[in-house]
Structure 1
Amino acid sequence: MVWPFVGGKMLRFLVLYLALSLGANAALAADLAPLKQGEMKKLVTYEEPIATSEVPFVDPQGAEHSLAEYRGKVVVLNFWATWCAPCREEMPSLDRLQARLGGADMQVVTVATGRNSLPQIEKFFAEAGVSQLPVLLDDRQALARSMGVLGLPVTVLIDRDGREVARLIGGAEWDSPEALAVIDALTAR
């Protein structure tokens, strides 16, 4: 599928994926490098943090939200869909992460991207035992596209200043000791 890109979005997309393909790992990466164990070996960090998108997403009532609402917190931003098998596997660990560490310092933000009806999401959450995560929607994939998300699941780690500092493509156990060590390192900054 080819997605249209406007203005600098194509350049951002190319820079991001070049960094991902080359495994760009410097400044913050040095802090996280010893923590890249187990499934966190797939975590890609950047020499310089990347500005996140300002594209809005919505809640089930249609109210618009943006990533700017989470400034001051470390954000674990997860793009997922109800039809995505790896998403189904990792979602309970994201729920446990939110239950364990969510609050003033850290927030797990799950955004269903693409066509995911509210009944499908509710059924997905019920079957997976998810009770701590928000229901947020990106039905036209505008946020996902603006952040260079091509497949699912993708989890983006965002620092307190609202900048992307790391990304993991594919599923992971987000409440594993390795993942908790990465989140702890980010919240300690």
Structure 2
Amino acid sequence: MKRLIAAIVYTALGLGAIAAPGAVRAEADIATLEALRDGTMKKLNFHTAPKPAIEGSFLDAGGTSHDMAELRGDVIVLNFWATWCAPCRKEMPMLSALQERFKDRGVRVVTMASGPNPVPAMQRFFEEIGVDNLPLYRDPRQGLSRQFAVLGLPATVILDAEGRELARMVGEADWDSDSAIAILEALAEQPAAPSGDAG
């Protein structure tokens, strides 16, 4: 009897894998990534399927408008922050170290000042904490922040190379930890997953 039940279970699993290989692979990938979470990275929540890419825009320090599509091609660690945000000040050097570690390796840190952050204040913020390798991008009217449903700062969204949201972190984290590095290395090596709307 046990052999019969085992045969039925394995057959059902096999048929499930044939019927929806993308879903089965996505679940396995998520389980692998979740197992890499440790310390502050335990707050990183992976979606069951990538969310559709957002086609929003933002400004650079000089006032030039850019589109989210320009960021595609790498895994993006998109960090929303503000000059008045104390936890942002604490985690920004770790994001800077992460950027340095992954330079030219398929992962890019993109910092986005959310709300009315004057450019001189943004520059002073980076100078005071010794960060010089992250972009001074800004979202002064919070249009992009609203599209990403950012409700508090800091908030970090991980996007795949096609701009789809894979995971989200609310609050500060040690982005230069062994856990964060392992997760991003795994994401950089993963083939593109099928898209979906689950969260």
Aligned to 1:164: 165
Question: Any conservation in 2 of the 1:82–1:124 contact (CA below 8 Å)?
Answer: yes
Change in Cα spacing, 1:120 to 1:187, as seen in structure 2 (3 Å) is: same
The alignment-based identity, stated in percent, is 49
TM-score normalized by the length of structure 2: 0.80
Aligned with 1:137: secondary structure? strand
Cα deviations by residue, 1:87-109 (Å, 9 ceiling, x for unpaired): 00000000111111022511100
Aligned to 1:60: 61
Q: Distance in 2 between matches of 1:144 and 1:103?
A: 27
Paired residue type of 2:155: V
CA RMSD of aligned residues (A): 1.3
Paired residue type of 2:125: F
Aligned to 1:45: 46
How many residues align? The count is: 165
Change in Cα spacing, 1:61 to 1:69, as seen in structure 2 (3 Å) is: same
Q: Distance in 2 between matches of 1:42 and 1:27?
A: 19
Deviation of 1:31 after TM superposition, in Å, equals 2.4
Paired residue type of 2:135: P
Cα deviations by residue, 1:103-159 (Å, 9 ceiling, x for unpaired): 251110000010100111011001111011000010000000011000000000011
Q: Distance in 1 between matches of 2:68 and 2:27?
A: 25
Aligned with 1:31: secondary structure? helix
Paired residue type of 2:174: E
Moved more, 27-36 or 62-71: 27-36
TM-score normalized by the length of structure 1: 0.84
Q: Distance in 1 between matches of 2:51 and 2:98?
A: 24
Cα deviations by residue, 1:10-41 (Å, 9 ceiling, x for unpaired): xxxxxxxxxxxxxxx94542121111111111
Aligned to 2:79: 78
Q: Distance in 2 between matches of 1:146 and 1:120?
A: 25
Question: Any conservation in 1 of the 2:53–2:162 contact (CA below 8 Å)?
Answer: no
5 Å matches for 1:82-101? 82-101=83-102
Aligned with 1:180: secondary structure? helix
- Determine whether 1:125 maps to 2:126: yes
Structure 1: where are the runs of 5+ without partners?
1-24
Question: Any conservation in 2 of the 1:102–1:108 contact (CA below 8 Å)?
Answer: no
Q: Distance in 2 between matches of 1:118 and 1:103?
A: 27
